[in-house]
Chain A
Amino acid sequence: MKRRQFLTVSAATVGGALVYTLDRRPYVVSAQDKPVRVPLRFFTEAEALDVAAAAARILPNDEAGPGANEAGVVIYIDRQLAGPYGRDRYRYTQGPFENGIPEQGYQGKATPREIYREGVRKIAGIAKLAAAEQDATLKQIETTSFFTLVKTHTIEGMFCDPMHGGNIDMIGWQLIGFPGPRMTYFEEVDSHYGNPFRPKPQSLRQIVGRPVKASEDEA
C-alpha cells in the first residue's frame, strides 16, 4: 500500500501578510503560528511541491497581493485530481479516440490525472529553483495542455469556495473584492453606481450554517 503523503504548509506561507483589496483598503489575513500538515489525496509530496511552485509563478505573491501558495491552490488541485473530475467522470470517454479539429474540443484519452502525472515529470524539481529559473522552465511548456490545465486550476483554486481546499481564509475573494455567496443585494443593486461595494466575504458554509457536500468528495 502506498505510504500516505503530506504537504507541510509553513506558518510563513499562510498568514501575516499585509495585502490590499481592489479598492485599496488594507486587509490582514489571519496569522497562523504553526505549520499545517495537509494529507495529500493524489500527489506525492514532491509532485505537490512542484505543482505549487508552478502555480505560484502563474499567480505570484507580490506587491499586488497574495498568490497561489497563500490561497492553497495546490491543495485544491490535489483534491480535484483525486475526485471524480480527476478520473474524467464529467466527460464522455467512450472510444474510438480520433484526432479532431479544434471546434470538436479535446478528444484525447488522457484523464486530468494522467495529464498531471506526465506533465509534472517534465517540470520535476522546479520547486527547488530560483524564481527566474522557474519562469524559464514554465516558458518551455507554456503551450502544452498541461500548462493550460495548471493555469485554469490555479484560477479555480484561488477563487473557489474554501470548502474545495483553495482560497484559504477567502484570501482570493478579498483580493478581487468578491463577497462570495450572499442572500440579497436588493438594496445595493442600484445604489452603488460607479463606487466599489465590498462587503466582507462569507463562505457557503457560513451562509447556509452547515457543511455542504463538494463534488470532489463524491464517487
Chain B
Amino acid sequence: MKTLPAVDAVIVGGGWTGLLMAQQLASRTSMSVVVLERGAPRKTSDYLDNMDELDYAIRLRMMQDISKETVTFRHSERDRALPVRQYGSFLPGAGVGGAGEHWSGISYRYVPDSFDLLTKTKEKYGAKRLPEDHAIQDWGVSYAALEPHYTRTERLMGISGKAGNLNGKLIEGGNIYEGPRSEEYPTPPMKMPYLAALFRDATKSLGYHPYPLPAATTSQPYTNPDGVSRAGCSYCGYCERYGCMIGAKSQPTNTLMPLLAKRKNFTLRPGCWVKRVTVEDGQARAVTYIDAAGEEVFQPAGIVFLASWTLNNTRLLMLSKVADPHKNLGRNLTHQISIPAATVFMEKPLNRFIGAGSAGIAMNDFDADVFDHSNVPFLRGGHIYTVCYGFRPMANFGVMPPSQKAAWGSAWKKAALDAYDRTGRISFYGEHLSYKGNVMDLDPVYKDAQGDPLLRLTLDWRDNERNMAKFMAEKATGIARAMGAREVTPFPGLKSYDATRYQSTHIQGGAIMGASPESSVVNSYLQHWHANNLFVIGSSAFPQNPSGNPTLTAMALTYRAADAIVERYVKRPGSLV
C-alpha cells in the first residue's frame, strides 16, 4: 500500500454535491482539496457521440459498472435477499459529474412542511394517523434556513421556470403551492411540446393549477453569477441517461468543473474506488482507495467528505465501521414513488421525439398537504405531470392501447405503428414516508469485485403508498379523458416494491440528518455526530422522501454546510451545532 502526503480535504465522489463542496472550499479557502471519483473524466465535447439509444439508454453506458458492484434486495427481514443483477428501479451514475451528468434536470425545492413533517402531521391529524411502523422525523433544518441556498443553486444552474409564490405573493401560472421564494427563476420557462400543451390545457379546464416544470435544461443562453456561460436548450430529446452535447443542461462538468479547473489547490483523481474511511478517536484520519492502476492508496486528510451516490455513502460508513452507538446508520431507506399514472393514446401524432428532460407541465393540487387528507386513506401526495423528454423507439415501440391484444406478428405491428407517435404518459411523483422496516445493512452472502459485502436493501411499500398511487391514477385518468385521449391505460396499482421497474434514481436515506445524535447520523450541517471532521453529504441525509426531485435540496444543504465550514469550522474545528 502506498501512503500519500496528507491533504486538507478529501472528497469521495465527483458528482453534484462533491464538486460543489470542492468548488466552495477551493475558491473560498486556501485548503488543498482532492476529489476521488470512481469513474472516468468527462467533458461536453464527449457527448455528441452519445445520441444513441442502444448504448446509453439500454446498455447504460454512463452508469456504475453493475458487474463489479450492485445491491441485494428483499421485501422484509423474513425474506432472502438476492442481488439486483441488472439495473431496474434506479440508475446510479459513475464518472466525473456522476448522475448529475445524465439527469433529466427537473429541479424542485421541497415544500416547507417536508422539513418538519412529524411535527406538522401530528399537529394537524394527530399521532393516530401516522402509519403503524413509521419512522418519520423532522430534518433539523427549516425551509426558511434553506431558502437562500435554494436560490443560490437555481442561479448556479440557471433553472428555467415561473415562480408561483414570490415572497408570499401567489402568482397564477406558477406553482402556487410552492414555498415562498425570494426571487423569480433565473431564466423563463421552456417551450412546450404538444403533449405538454394538451396536459396544461386539460388540467386548467378541470380547475387545477398547471405550471411549467422547473428545468435545468436552460431555456436560453445563460451566464451564472460565477461567470460560467452555457447554451440554451435545443430540445434534441437526449437528456436522461445522456450527457448534454451542447452544455444546455446544467451538469457538474459544465457548471462546476470550469471553475475548479482553474484552481491550483484542487486535484481530481478519476478511476479511484474508495474502500474505507479510517476513523480513530472520534476523528476521520484518511481514506483508503484502489487507484486507476489497481494499487491500494492511503490518503490522510484533515477533513473527509463522503459525497458518493446516496446508497454508497451509507455502505462506506458501514464498511468502515464508523461509530453508530444509537443504531441509526441504514435507517429510513426511501424511494420516491414514481409511476406512469395513466398512459394516453391520442388521436393526433405527437412528434414525441422532440423534447428535453424537463420540458413539461406539472400540477401540485394533490401534493404534500395542500389538500385535506381527513377523508382519504393516505397522508401526503405528489405531483401529477407530463414531461416530453424525447421518446425514442426501442423503449416505446409496442406500447399498446388496452383494446389491442396481439403481442407479435402483423396485427401487433399494425397496432404498434398506429399507436407509436400517439402515445404519451401522465406521470406521478409521490412522497415516500419512512418506515422502521425499510432499512439497509451489509449483505451476509454477496460481495463486490473487491471482496467487500454488498449493501442489502430491505424495502417494501405500505398501504399509504398503495392508496396514494390508486388515488392519483384515478385523477390522472380523469385528466387523460379531458385531454381527448381515445384510449387510456391507468396504472394497475402498486403492489410490492419491484426492483425491475424503473422508478427514479431518487432512492434516499441511510445516513440521515437530524437534531440529535440519538436519532440521526449527521447534524443539519451534514457533519457526523461522532467524528466532527467527517461530513456525509447528499440525499443519504434525507429522513423522508418528499414528492419532488432531490437535487436542489442536496445542493442547498451542501451550500449551507460549506458556509459553516468556511466561516466557522476551518477557524475553530469542532461541532457546528
Contact = CB atoms under 8 A, between A and B. Distances in A.
Q: Do A and B bind each other?
A: yes
Nearest to A197: B351
B170 interface: no
Interface in A176-219: 176-179, 181-186, 188-190, 192-197, 204, 207-208, 212-215
Contacts of A60: 409-410, 413
Given A58-B408, A103-B75, A185-B236, A161 B52 contact: yes
A94 B70 CA distance: 10
A93 B70 CA distance: 10
A67 interface: yes
A81 interface: no
A151 B408 contact: yes
Interface residues of A, number: 68
A7 to B, nearest CB: 21
A94 B397 contact: no
Contact of B397 (A57, A93, A176): A176
A63 B414 CA distance: 9
A173 B393 contact: yes
Contact of B67 (A92, A135, A195): A92
Interface stretch (B84-92, B337-345, B523-531): B84-92
Interface of A: 22-23, 57-60, 62, 64-65, 67, 85, 88-94, 96, 98, 100, 102-107, 135, 138, 142, 151, 155-156, 158-161, 163-164, 172-173, 175-179, 181-186, 188-190, 192-197, 204, 207-208, 212-215
B425 to A, nearest CB: 18
A173 B52 CA distance: 13
Contacts of B48: 207-208
Contact of A96 (B67, B392, B445): B445
Contacts of A194: 194, 348-349
A90 B353 contact: no
A182 B51 CA distance: 8
Given A106-B86, A159-B397, A208-B49, A184 B421 contact: no
Nearest to B408: A58
A104 B53 contact: no
A185 B353 CA distance: 10
Contact of A64 (B232, B408, B410): B410
Interface residues of B, number: 69
Which of A89, A172, A215 has its CB near the most chain B CB atoms (within 10 A)?
Answer: A215
Contacts of A197: 351, 354
Contacts of A91: 66-67, 85-86
Contacts of B83: 92, 94, 107
Interface in B40-60: 48-49, 51-55, 58-60
Interface in B477-502: 496-500
Contacts of A184: 234-236
Given A155-B394, A175-B417, A194-B348, A90 B410 contact: no
B269 interface: no
B82 A181 contact: no
B55 A215 contact: yes
B462 interface: no
Contacts of A92: 66-67, 69-70, 83-86
A58, A92, A186 pick with most chain B CB within 10 angstroms: A92
